[in-house]
């Protein structure tokens, strides 16, 4: 009666597990398996002790500031206190952990971006110095060429016409 092989079912359930943690609607679009079947498989996985994604029940929609405030509030809490806090607020502990991880990753991304910007600024300054040196060299060469042309004209004026040029 099973329409899907055990390997296929296991592969789809693995997509529901971390690190992918795909939701059922996402898997419906990707795999073409009905949502009823996926919900049933997810329930079986949960009954088997797996930590499966529950993105459909995301709780209240919170702004980034509110999520950060929750992370700050829950940082000193133990696992039991965190669970109690989450029940009171209508959240899942996994959500809070994900938000904490996102805050940390965001800070790391900011630090990497600042380092990259600093490296780019140093490279830009070095390039500017090189271009300024090259510009000064070319200005000197141009001034020398102009001076030679002026001297040549004066010499021609003193010695006569163009016969001296040959």
Give pLDDT, residue 119. 95
Q: What is the spatial distance between Cα 104 and Cα 110, in angstroms, rounded to a whole number?
A: 10
Confidence (pLDDT) at 54: 55
Average pLDDT by consecutive 10-residue portion of the chain (166 residues)?
Answer: 80 80 85 89 81 53 84 90 87 90 86 92 96 98 97 90 55
**pLDDT score for 56:** 43
pLDDT, residue 165, reads 52
The answer to whether 92 and 86 have CB atoms below 8 angstroms apart is: yes
Two tokens at 74? 């829950």
**What is the distance between the alpha carbons of residues 69 and 85, in angstroms, rounded to a whole number?**
13
Q: What is the pLDDT of residue 1?
A: 45
């Amino acid at each position: 009666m099973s329409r899907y092989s055990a390997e296929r079912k296991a592969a789809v359930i693995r997509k529901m597990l971390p690190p992918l943690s795909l939701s059922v609607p996402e898997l419906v679009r990707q795999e073409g398996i009905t949502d009823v079947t996926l919900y049933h498989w997810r329930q079986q996985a949960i009954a088997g002790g797996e930590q499966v994604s529950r993105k459909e029940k995301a709780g209240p929609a919170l702004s980034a500031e509110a999520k950060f405030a929750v992370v700050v509030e829950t940082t000193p809490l133990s696992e039991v206190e965190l669970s109690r806090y989450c029940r009171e607020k209508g959240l899942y502990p996994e959500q809070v952990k994900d938000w904490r991880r996102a805050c940390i990753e965001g800070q790391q991304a900011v630090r990497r971006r600042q380092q990259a910007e600093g490296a780019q600024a140093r490279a830009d300054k070095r390039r500017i110095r090189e271009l300024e040196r090259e510009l000064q060299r070319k200005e000197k060469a141009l001034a020398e060429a102009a001076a030679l042309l002026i001297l040549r004209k004066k010499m021609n004026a003193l010695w006569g016409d163009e016969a001296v040029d040959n």
